[in-house]
Amino acid sequence: MFRLALKMLYGDVAKFIMLIGGLTVCSLLMTQQSGVFCGLMMWTTATIRNIDVPIWVCDAKVEQVNEVVPLRDVDVNRVRSVKGVEWAVPLYWGIIQTRLPNGAFQQVQLTGLDSATLVGRPPRMEKGTAEELRLPNAVIVDQVCVKKFKSKGLTLKVGDVFEINDKEARVVGICKAEQSFMGQPYVYTTYERALEYAPPQRKQLSFILVKPRADTPASEVVARIREVPGLAAFTAKDFADQTMGWYFKYTGIPISFGTVVVLGIIVGIAIAGQTFYLFVHENVRHLAALKAMGAGNVLLAEMVFLQAFVVGIAGYGLGTGLTAMLGAKFMTLGEPPFFLPWQVLAFAGGIIVFICLFAAGIGLIKVFRAEPAVVFR
């Protein structure tokens, strides 16, 4: 009987293709847009992953990593005195404008590292070494910087020079870092040199990077640092979660992408439900004949559900396959952002199952109402 159900499904080629097409579009919209959304959220926390330290300390009013409220230099020593802290180093982080030899301008995210330890150094070096940052006027740029400078007429390589705030910056290395949400490239240098490049102001310390002692949990050290007046502390994971939560709460990004996902679900339900109902309607005489031969409603329901899930699996597979192809292309180009966790695939699969149940349920109404005698009319 199940082979007969599949023959009935494959026999109507037009409706079979329409069913698969509708579910493919639904699956594609859900997974592709969710992948871009997740990638965009990953961009918001790129600084945390690029720096990669256990604990971040900032001003008590800071809500997410991409906003900076400067601290006092003495705060570094205050944090170092907290019980359970193995080391604490300063970090400068700020948006600043660079000037190319041809006169073009480009904003960058200037990152100043502790010159003694170079904690927070670039994660992956393609050319040069991080230790060369200790050379005079030395900076390391990321792959986004190379790309953006090239679009403005300068093919960056080790040894090239450009200006930051009218001061010379000499490239001693090129690294590969995760792209930031704001799109500006990363430029690494030492903390003291970053203060020279940055516009002068009374307080310039952006963050304090901390590592807890091996015998002390990071959460316990965070709690102790928070007792210091005027300071907030987060583990890297908590800071990333808070940053993403801030973008959820204060930007329209979730609503924009969520609307597209909801539209994809509606399209899938409308096309699959209507098409499957028409498919069952046209085959009601055959189903009535099976009833006349003794087939019960349970067996007929199983046949209809089989047809629905065969179409659902095919549509889900094609949709996620197209998403994977687009995602691979996006990752090669570097933008738009793309990240596809298994939760997105599970969510899309659950929605496809729901659509299949809904479509099959609509068709079953016609099946259960069909009288066996209709085959003789």
Q: Which of 263, 261, 242 is nearest to 253 (CA)?
A: 261
Q: What pLDDT is stored for residue 86 in this prediction?
A: 94
**Side chain identity at residue 113, one-letter code:** L
Q: What pLDDT is stored for residue 181 in this prediction?
A: 81
Residues sharing a CB contact under 8 Å with residue 191, sequence separation 6 or more, in sequence order: 90, 91, 92, 112, 113, 114, 115
Distance CA 78, CA 75 (A): 5
Rounded to the nearest 5°, which phi and psi values hold at 256? -60, -50
Taking CA atoms, 271 is separated from 24, 25, 29, 277, in Å, by: 11, 10, 14, 10
Please state the separation of Cα 320 from the chain's center in Å: 16
Q: What is the pTM of this model?
A: 0.81
Rounded to the nearest 5°, which phi and psi values hold at 113? -100, 150
Rounded to the nearest 5°, which phi and psi values hold at 149? -65, -35
The answer to whether residues 212 and 233 touch, using CB atoms and an 8 Å cutoff, is no
Residues sharing a CB contact under 8 Å with residue 33, sequence separation 6 or more, in sequence order: 257, 260, 261, 264
Residues in the chain: 377
Q: Which residues of the chain have pLDDT under 50?
A: 375
Q: What pLDDT is stored for residue 362 in this prediction?
A: 73
- What does DSSP say about strands 167-176 and 138-142: parallel, antiparallel, or unpaired? parallel
Residues sharing a CB contact under 8 Å with residue 154, sequence separation 6 or more, in sequence order: 100, 101, 102, 104, 160, 162
Please state the separation of Cα 158 from the chain's center in Å: 31
Distance CA 119, CA 131 (A): 11
Helical ranges in 251-296 per DSSP H: 253-282, 284-292
Q: What pLDDT is stored for residue 11 in this prediction?
A: 67
The answer to whether residues 92 and 191 touch, using CB atoms and an 8 Å cutoff, is yes
Helical ranges in 117-207 per DSSP H: 143-151, 191-197
* Residue 233: both structure tokens together: 């502390």
Domain boundaries of the chain, sorted by first residue? 2-43+252-376, 61-229
Distance CA 263, CA 20 (A): 17
